[in-house]
Amino acid sequence: MSHPDSVLEPTADSQPGTDFIRQIVRDDLARGRHARIRTRFPPEPNGYLHIGHAKAICLNFGIAGEVHGLCNLRLDDTNPGKEDPEFVQGIKDDVEWLGYRWSELRHASDYFEVFYQAALKLIRDGKAYVDDLSAEAMREYRGTLTEPGRPSPFRERSVEENLDLFQRMRAGEFADGSKTLRARIDMRSGNMNLRDPAIYRIRKVSHQNTGDAWPIYPMYDYAHCLSDALEGITHSLCTLEFEDHRPLYDWFVDAVDLVGHPELWQGLAQAGLPTAPDKPRQIEFSRLNLSYSVTSKRKLAQLVAEGHVGGWDDPRMNTLRGLRRRGVTPAAIRRLIERVGISKQNSVIDYAIFEACIRDDLDQVAPRRMAVLDPLKLVIDNLPAGHEESIQLANHPKDERFGQREVKFGRELWIEREDFAEVPPKGFKRLIPGGEVRLRGIGIFRCDELVRDAAGEIIELHGTLDPESRAGMEGSNRKVKGTIHWVSAAHAGAAEVRVYDRLFNVPAPDDEDWLSHLNPEALQIKQGWLEPAAAAAAPEQHFQFERIGYFSADRYDHRPEQPVFNRIVTLRDVWARQEKA
């Protein structure tokens, strides 16, 4: 499967990078080593993508786009039973949502016959053998970082016996786990990946693409590098944990020698997968690690399975699906990747940097609206009952292209409870008894009276609006210390507002008791009131709720008649103050 135009172009907001990988690619092009650059993004379809994957996506597709090259999306589907078509579709959706398109959609399973024929070649060349050791015994024989491994008692089987056994493995004669095909490399190597690694294992599990055709499946390390070679990938970009695997990848590619043995892969053209094998150059880079979060697939799956979150797309999760549902934009994620850069130095990026990228993007693209999340009624006594008027407010104070909107104003308003203090703290600049504050777009209001309920709680504020302070009037420039927002009680729409925050309350939730660091305030559900122009939003539409934060209409639950909004991020970094306290 390919897109109509398989040669990639840069994204609209991309800036050509200057990192060491891009410099290598440009140098290779300048020296004529490649006619066209080919990269790939090779996820395993055993879960949904997370923020760490975004770095690999942006790097692989970004570089290909910058040099008008090709980038394949390849699903490394070599582990049936843990993979799911739902994850496959999710991966495709996430890549496209981030703003990228693949040149070709490939699967490791497209090459299963090639992998099998290549394994037969390794056996004939004396470079692979069938082992009867159990997985536990194989680990014992492998040795440790300080002790060399020992050869398996089955290592010296003849070529003929190995061919017979492997073909019988292929025919399904043996039980799961009873035999393994291993590469014959060096059991004394200082690199444990070279101590006769497994190539094939027996797994009688149905595969989502090949059904029950194969009772044996290739190991990831074997399939991954040969897939790169088969697709003619010029630059195989991997995170640093694969650096020690590079000698093994090179060994497999050299030992199989796809370029010199076209009979191994020529059937691919007949299957509609034309290819030009090449030896890829592997380059490693540091993965993206964010504070206050986890990117382990195992831990993300545990959060879902144990009900700590509502699913893989829960807005508290740092999966791409979760971030999208929360309201994070693809441009903000690309901005983060660009800001942290590409290097070989492992580090943890402060989550505040990500939040700053979100704010920087949304500040430019999010229209403004007024909303009240913790309402306190304010009554303007010098306006008649039933008073109603319309005012015009800018949709974006920094960009006239957003135009204006009509906002209804009446005698009774909702304001934020925190914008009033009966006993004000030091430096408080909003409404107090007997004090004045400017109502956004309206004028100056003076609080004259407090109304309490039977429990003594303040439930209403009464006062007067200075008619001379209205827009265009002589007193409109009169100075007061604070300005607050509001919504008309008669016209506002009720909404469920989900106030999201960081999922963990410590920067590094990576110890054995990591679940104890879940932030109990990562989700607070509030009954809010919105001006009608916000309630009528389409799903996934973004707004800045003035003086509160950036919000998005929920992708699935929001309807204009029953609005549901998610807080994406606060207007300012509230965690910085907490960390200093």
Cβ(325)–Cβ(94) below 8 Å: no
Comparing CA positions, the residue from 232, 264, 228, 265 lying closest to residue 246 is 228
Give the N- to C-terminal CA distance of the chain in Å, as an integer: 55
CA distance 62 to 66: 6
CA distance 535 to 530: 6
220 is in an annotated binding site: yes
287 is in an annotated binding site: yes
Q: What are phi and psi of 293, to 5 degrees?
A: -155, 165
Three-state DSSP class for residue 452: strand
Handedness of CA 167, 170, 175, 176 (dihedral sign): positive
CA distance 184 to 161: 15
387 is in an annotated binding site: no
- DSSP single-letter state for residue 522: S
455 is in an annotated binding site: no
Active site residues: 44, 287, 297
Three-state DSSP class for residue 466: coil
288 is in an annotated binding site: yes
CA distance 249 to 227: 11
100 is in an annotated binding site: no
55 is in an annotated binding site: yes
46 is in an annotated binding site: yes
485 is in an annotated binding site: no
Tell me how far CA of residue 397 lies from CA of 125, 402, 479, in angstroms.
Answer: 72, 9, 20
52 is in an annotated binding site: yes
Comparing CA positions, the residue from 488, 490, 481, 521 lying closest to residue 505 is 521
- The b/e string for 370-383 (b: 16+ C-beta within 10 A; e otherwise) is bbbbebbebbbeeb
CA distance 70 to 64: 6
CA distance 408 to 488: 6
349 is in an annotated binding site: no
* SS3 readout for 112-149: HHHHHHHHHHHHHCCCEEEECCCHHHHHHHHCCCCCCC
Comparing CA positions, the residue from 114, 104, 107, 10 lying closest to residue 62 is 10
Cβ(490)–Cβ(512) below 8 Å: no
CA distance 318 to 341: 19
Binding residues for L-glutamine: 76, 220
Binding residues: 44-46, 50-56, 76, 220, 239, 287-288
Binding residues for ATP: 44-46, 50-56, 239, 287-288
